[in-house]
Amino acid sequence: MNYPLLTTLKAAGFTGLAAALERRLTLYKRLKIAYTDYAYLSKEVYSPLKGISWVPVDIYYAEPWGGYPPTSALNACILAKDRGCFTNLICAHCLWKMVGQEVREDPGTMIVGQVEGCEDYFVITAWERGRTLDEMTSEALNDSKEVSKCSGMSG
């Protein structure tokens, strides 16, 4: 971040104050991106809803969730991570979905982003039916063959 006040605070020896200001500015930047570019679920919306399970994406396992994420969901996660505004990505399996401003019962899975310091969840992507492990294996093998053909390798 390039803020003259931060530079001045650090040069004057106010490193603690500079660190606090830098954290606040980082939060502001992340929230600006998140609220501008993603739909969000406020605590008032998700707290009273029944049938929701949350798990961090790094420990996501498809069995209780009805399948693995489609490629479009994976690409949406990559884009969200590249933007750098979320401190955490969470997979939410729920018995409801947002349609406009209305909540409807409908089983599905969504990936939401969190920004540390904010209670809202930001919807990155959602899907109704996941892929099976067999479908993902087949896709991975097909992609591998395409790469081998392009590079002149046999496989």
Residue 73 has, within 13 A of its CA and on its CB side, a CA count of: 23
pTM: predicted TM-score of the whole model, two decimal places: 0.69
**Banded model confidence at residue 35, pLDDT cuts 50, 70, 90:** very high
**Per-residue confidence (pLDDT) for residue 151, from 0 to 100:** 42
Residue 143 pLDDT exceeds 90: no
Q: How far apart are CA 49 and CA 45, in angstroms?
A: 7
pLDDT in tens, 69-83: 888 888 999 999 999
Stretch (H or E) spanning 6:
helix 4-11
Indicate the domain borders of the chain: 1-37, 39-133
Let me know if 137 is exposed, middle or buried by CB neighbors in 10 A (0-12, 13-18, 19+). exposed
Q: How far apart are CA 67 and CA 63, in angstroms?
A: 6
How large is the greatest C-alpha to C-alpha distance in the chain, in angstroms? 63
**Per-residue confidence (pLDDT) for residue 120, from 0 to 100:** 87
High-pLDDT (> 90) share of the chain, %: 32
